[in-house]
Structure 1
Amino acid sequence: MAFAILQIIAILLNVAITVIIVQAIMSWLLAFNVINLQNDIVNAIWTTLDALTAPIYRPIRKIMPDFGAIDLTPMVVIIAIIILQDAILPPLAQALLS
């Protein structure tokens, strides 16, 4: 049972990384005016992605220094997720299996 929960957490972390990458790419497309928020579909996708990532980004943005137009928060979150996946979840799974 506990191992299944850890597998679900691993899947959710992979989904979170995907959402963060999609949002980063979409923000670049918006910044370079390849797409714009006047399109209803683009606006709906952007609003959804922002609603999903804002709670994750908010505490990190309070800590991170301001780099102007460069937002490193997504990279920090992805690095934290990778550390969680590679350094914390495997020992936890091993401890639960023993």
Structure 2
Amino acid sequence: MTSLYQILMMILDVLWFIMIAHIIMSWLINFQVLNLHQPIVAQVWDSLNRLLEPVYSRIRQFLPPVSGLDLAPLVAFIALIAVRIILRNNAALFY
């Protein structure tokens, strides 16, 4: 059971890093530090969007529209942190 806990935490850690990269990259694109006309930047951005868009689209269905702000990444990030906290607090169940 310990290995199950470690695998779940590893998956959540990888997802955490992917979400952080997506959030930071979106800021850099919006502030025109990164340019989507560069092939590597466009490829990384497209890959991150393909990974996270299914999650964000489900969250957007429940969120009310806010003018110019997309709160779906924030809600997904908070949910991910909550799941990690719940797993850590209940780690004794896996041992």
TM-score bin (small chain): 0.7 to 0.9
Residue equivalent to 1:84: 83
Residue equivalent to 1:11: 10
Deviations 1:72-95 (A, max 9, x none): 11111111111111124532x322
The one-letter code of the counterpart of 1:96 is F
Q: Which runs of 5+ in 1 are unaligned?
A: none
Number of corresponding residues = 95
Residue equivalent to 1:57: 56
The yes-or-no answer on 1:48 pairing with 2:47 is: yes
Which has the larger displacement, 16-25 or 40-49?
16-25
Over 3 Å counting, the alpha-carbon distance change for 1:67 and 1:8 in structure 2 is: same
User: What is the rounded CA distance, in whole Å, between the counterparts of 2:88 and 2:55 in structure 1?
Assistant: 19
With normalisation by structure 1, the TM-score equals 0.85
Identity of counterpart residues, as a percentage?
Answer: 34
Task: State the Cα distance separating 1:68 from its structure 2 match.
Answer: 2.1
Residue 6 of structure 1 aligns to a residue whose secondary structure is: helix
With normalisation by structure 2, the TM-score equals 0.87
The one-letter code of the counterpart of 1:64 is L
Q: Note the aligned Cα RMSD (angstroms).
A: 1.5
Deviations 1:9-60 (A, max 9, x none): 1111111111111111111111122211111000000011101111221211
The yes-or-no answer on 1:20 pairing with 2:15 is: no
